[in-house]
Structure 1
Amino acid sequence: MLDASSQALLFGLALLANTLSALAGGGAGLLQLPVLLFLGLAFPTALATHKIASVALGVGATLRHLSSGRIDWRFAGFILLTGLPGVWLGTQIILQLPDALARAALGVLTLGLGVYSWRRPSLGVQANHQHRDRAGMLMGGIGLFAIGLLNGSLTSGTGLFVTLWLVRWFGLDYTRAVTYTLILVGLFWNGAGAIALAQQAPVMWHWLPALLLGSLLGGYFGAHWALKSGSRVVKRAFELLTVAVGAKLLWDALV
């Protein structure tokens, strides 16, 4: 059992990580997963525990975003149907992959996201819906399936991939893209991944109350901040967090 100070640490870091994640559209694992590993959990146990806690991020963000009227439920269903099979497949292979190699590859990709967005100042500032014909939706669905595969197999920062894909391919502004990411990835993709991982690895259940509360509150506060700030602020938060997540993953892989 963790003492009160350790529980407070878990809550504080979960609150911080998920507030930033809800603002930027992903990246809660940057702080949350490493803390679980530092406190002595084996990687499979830390991953399964973090994945369950991350569902509360989706719950908190959903509570705030549902009142915004920004959700096209038909498009939301498309994201679910194309991404969830990839999530399930990813959970079947994650525990078989070398951790250092997986972290290094994801670190390079995540850094690339931040640089790509930063080099395009107008990207995602205003909505410009595109690729909504049959061919465009097919390619978009393939992209979401591939990101779902990453989401199920790797836990840090994959929501950021969804956010940028919705901005770049479908032409959403950052604020609306983050809305879809937090509800569909945070709640449904992570929920599916949590169920699958919990069947393969032990979960530290008595650590979850602090993590769940921090994730729930962080998801709500971050979503509120994103809606109030607008796409330019969300874009900057996205770029900063992708660089931080990518650098952290590379450091973990190389040290």
Structure 2
Amino acid sequence: MVSRSLLLVGVAFLANAFAATAGGGVGLIQLPLLLFLGLPYPQALATHKVASVALGVGAGGRYRRSGLFNRSLVLLVLASGLPGVLLGALVVLAIPQALIRMVLGALTVGLGLYSWRRHDLGQVAVACHRDPWGLAVGGLGLFVIGVLNGSVTSGTGLFCTLWLVRWFGLDYKSAVAYTLTLVGLVWNAAGAATLGSFGQIRWSWLPWLLAGALTGSYAGAHIAVGSSNRWIKRAFEILTIGVGIRLLV
């Protein structure tokens, strides 16, 4: 019992520290651990979702003092993504997970390679697509990412990070701040509440996961705030390709 508790704390710390630095991907490490320890997929997903809320609490607590947020964009991320999260969480049990993981894995590897080849991507913030048409397309993209976030846990925060960089012109540091605070806290809380209503959460494991997630996410966010966009971009690319390969295999 003690060894399992320490394992949960340690893995949650590492997973959330990496995610808070790179802008997503906590499920790459944390969800496989829950499956390895014997939880069925629906229960592992629900438990992971609840624990992932701590990613937003810990990282958001650090990022909220950074002055990186634009109120209009915050509202767009929430208004567009939350309906998608709720829809994805409602249909998760009816979706063939193996197929979705294969498709998502291939797309995630593609994201990492795309960022790697675009050397100047996300290094300097250049606001774009803030007209009504651009906001509508951006909101649709966030809705689709929200659906994935509610139904498949690994890698969707990374999609949001790159979408904010590529479509809205944020630099990587700002995009990671949005993803960790809004996706990590609000989107994940909505998904956790929906999945939790089905009674799928392993409550006895949550205190250990939450302890590791809170401390790890704050530590990762602290490192990211003090790092350059180039360094964060490389961390994003490494973690994205790692998440994609993990989903494929």
2:242 to 241, 244, 251: 244
Residue in 1 aligned with 2:91?
93
The 5-angstrom pairing of residues 206-221 of structure 1 reads 206-221=204-219
Structure 1: unaligned runs, 5 residues or longer: none
Structure 1, residues 129-177: CA drift from partner, whole Å, max 9, x if none?
1000111001100000010011011100100000000000000000000
Residue in 2 aligned with 1:65?
63
Residue in 1 aligned with 2:174?
176
Whether the 8 Å contact between 1:17 and 1:29 is mirrored in structure 2 is: yes
Q: Name the % identity.
A: 59
Structure 1, residues 47-100: CA drift from partner, whole Å, max 9, x if none?
000000000000001110111111112210111001100000001111111221
Indicate the larger mover: 232-241 or 62-71. 62-71
Q: CA deviation at 1:201?
A: 4.2
Q: CA deviation at 1:27?
A: 0.1
CA distance in 2, matches of 1:40, 1:213: 21
2:164 to 163, 166, 172: 166
Structure 1, residues 81-127: CA drift from partner, whole Å, max 9, x if none?
01100000001111111221121111011101101100100000111
Residue in 2 aligned with 1:84?
82
CA RMSD of aligned residues (A): 0.7
TM-score normalized by the length of structure 2: 0.99
Aligned length: 249
TM-score normalized by the length of structure 1: 0.96
Residue in 2 aligned with 1:222?
220
CA distance in 2, matches of 1:218, 1:148: 24
Runs of 4+ in 1 over 4 A off after TM superposition: none
Query: What is the letter of the counterpart of residue 147 of structure 1?
Result: I
The 5-angstrom pairing of residues 1-255 of structure 1 reads 3-251=1-249
CA distance in 1, matches of 2:75, 2:153: 22
Structure 2: unaligned runs, 5 residues or longer: none
Q: CA deviation at 1:219?
A: 1.1
Query: What is the letter of the counterpart of residue 19 of structure 2?
Result: S
CA distance in 2, matches of 1:166, 1:87: 17
CA distance in 2, matches of 1:40, 1:218: 24
Query: What is the letter of the counterpart of residue 113 of structure 2?
Result: V
CA distance in 1, matches of 2:190, 2:76: 16
Q: CA deviation at 1:200?
A: 2.1
Whether the 8 Å contact between 1:44 and 1:201 is mirrored in structure 2 is: no
CA distance in 2, matches of 1:61, 1:26: 11
